[in-house]
Chains A and B, each alone.
Chain A
Amino acid sequence: MAKMQQLVEAAVASNPDGLIVSFTDEDALGRIVQKATNNGIPVITINSGGDVARKYGARLHVGQSEYEAGKQAAERMQEMGVKKAVCVNHEQGNQGLDQRCDGFLKGFDGNAEQLATTYDPTAIRNAVVAYLNEHKDVRGILTLGTLAAEPMLQAMREQGATDMFTLATFDLSPGILQALEKGDMDFAIDQQQYLQGYLPVMFLDQYAKHGLLPAGDVPTGPGFVTQENAAQVIKLSQQGIR
């Protein structure tokens, strides 16, 4: 984080026409973003920190509200008939993951729990199995990233239980896309990071040339990937677009 702080500071000092920054840590980057906006440099934040970036003069945020995405995942699961669910958090203390999980729990309104684990795939898989054996009424499982999704999928496949549960995850990987295509997994939430890189550059270009800028934040996600569009996403991901 200190390294990123230095890099952003250096970028601001070079007095650019605009600054695009991933606002991952308010305490570390807030002061620098404030300095940039004080010097008349338009700032667009991407990926994370959308809820606080404006305090420091950022013009707009391009990204996904993690909390909102978690909530929508919960709503989607409930529409699919899930009454009780669990959210597997493999890195507690990571703000983005915690917000995803909080949103999910909120969306389930007391009928979902958080299962905190470590990074280790075997520990994640065995924790999921242990949890399900103790909570037999849980029918929906959400993982917060690819790291946890694959061990969870493995546990389900070993038990031949993929159809029994509604399985969802944040983020995409080749393994997850395959599982979606086969119908083992029900949906994945994509924050459409390609747009997070592409749009702010377009916006700043327009702003520099004509003074044009969208008035509000741009939510790039949640984009839902399901069995229907998995094949298309696989093709695009090979080109690096998704």
Chain B
Amino acid sequence: MQSNTSSKPAPHSSEKPDERIQRVPFWKKALSRPELGALAGTVLVLAFFIVAASGTGMFTPAGIVNFLEVAAQLGIIATAAALLMIGGEFDLSIGSMIGLAGILIAIPAVEYGWPLWAAILLAFSCAGLVGWINGNLVNKTGLPSFIVTLGFLFILRGLAIGISRLLTGRTQIGGIHEHMQGDWFAALFSGEVATGLFSWMAAQGWIATNFAGNPLVTGIPVSIVWWLGLTAVATWVLLCTPYGNWIFASGGDANAARNSGVPVRRVKISLFMFTAFSATIFACLQVMDTGSADTIRGLLKELEAIIAVVIGGALLTGGYGSAIGAALGALIFGLVQMGIFYTGVNTDWFQVFLGVMLLVAVLFNNFMRKKAMEAK
């Protein structure tokens, strides 16, 4: 919080003794937070669907889990992308990293009989290496991260295709479910939590049954837990630790930060490694969930992550933003992406619908934020 409020222009009032030690009321502080706009956008989109999808199953427990799951997977990479963007850099290789990480998990496990935990560790190690290379290249060359990571967008996707074609002759590797039994590490990325609670609720008749006659919701998918957990940790790091301040400082003005002793290079390298790790978490969740890996997985996810972060109120130029905002951005994305199926709109218009809704959400965010700034 500290670096945020200090970067805002303080109100100019000559009567007050010193504006810097003036106490800011809570509501004014809340209004100047970057996630405020995203919250307003979320409310707007929710309101739209409550009207447009009324009488459908969208806001039943099953419908909610349905769109939350889509939001959660995006939210996991959006959290990391938000930290990196606040730190002043982009990572366009996230989507390709998802594809590569999936292949790195599936091939050793399915083709070479590795235990899954070892394959997952291999994927995380490779991700760490990729993030480290990305960060170092950006630091050493001074090139925009946009270009460096765009190179890795192609390299990593190409590696995923090349490696899996070379070793298996295919681009899709299935049969992972058979390797998941009894693997404690893989269990972290699969299944549902609170299943007992939900079956109890179903037994009480609180949850309806679906088209197949099963209780609509059997538990909370683990991806949602990861999403909320990562968002909470990222928010804590940003607002309550020195490292969080370093991130804001590196993105705000790297030179000034360096001069005041912030290890800008190390901060950026660690942030690039975090985005690659988040892509690997995404890949683990999806591979364990679907039971297969595919070289095409994660296509365009880097852009979706950036969209979610920007909807969440972060600045593309760095130094400003929040993890909660990114989570709300991902939520809006999930709501819109799944919501169309309940509105009865012909799905030929799916992408138009998605684009228009996202644009409206961003415009509304922007409008609300401006209003909030004026309110001072």
Interfacial residues, chain A to chain B (CB-CB below 8 A): 89, 92, 114-123, 125-127, 129-134, 136, 146-147, 150-151, 154, 159-161, 164, 173-175, 240
Contacts and interface: CB of A to CB of B under 8 A. Distances in A.
A154 B291 contact: yes
Nearest to B289: A122
Contact of A147 (B63, B211, B286, B294): B294
A122 B286 CA distance: 7
Nearest to A124: B290
B211 A132 contact: yes
B337 A134 contact: no
Nearest to A162: B212
A150 B174 contact: yes
A151 B290 contact: yes
Contact of B172 (A119, A129, A164, A173): A173
Given A126-B69, A147-B296, A154-B291, A174 B174 contact: yes
B117 interface: no
Contacts of B290: 121-122, 125, 150-151, 154
A235 to B, nearest CB: 16
B342 A116 contact: no
Nearest to A132: B211
A130 B338 contact: yes
Contacts of B211: 132-133, 136, 159, 161
Contacts of B291: 150, 154, 175
17 contacts: A118-B337, A119-B297, A119-B299, A119-B300, A120-B297, A121-B290, A121-B294, A121-B297, A122-B286, A127-B338, A130-B58, A130-B338, A133-B210, A136-B211, A173-B172, A173-B174, A175-B291
Given A150-B174, A150-B290, A122 B70 contact: yes
Given A121-B297, A160-B214, A114 B66 contact: no
Contact of A130 (B66, B174, B175, B212): B66
B212 A161 contact: yes
A126 B67 contact: yes
A126 B58 CA distance: 12
A159 B212 contact: yes
Contact of B292 (A118, A130, A160, A175): A175
Interface string B157-186: 000000000000100101100000000000
Contacts of A115: 341, 347
Q: Which of B175, B289, B347 has the most CB of A within 10 A?
A: B347
B56 interface: yes
Nearest to B208: A133
B151 interface: no
A180 to B, nearest CB: 14
A116 B347 contact: yes
A112 to B, nearest CB: 13
The 10 closest A-B pairs by CB, nearest first: A116-B347, A161-B212, A159-B212, A175-B174, A130-B341, A133-B57, A116-B350, A132-B211, A126-B66, A121-B290
Contacts of A154: 289-291
Given A114-B348, A175-B175, A164 B212 contact: yes
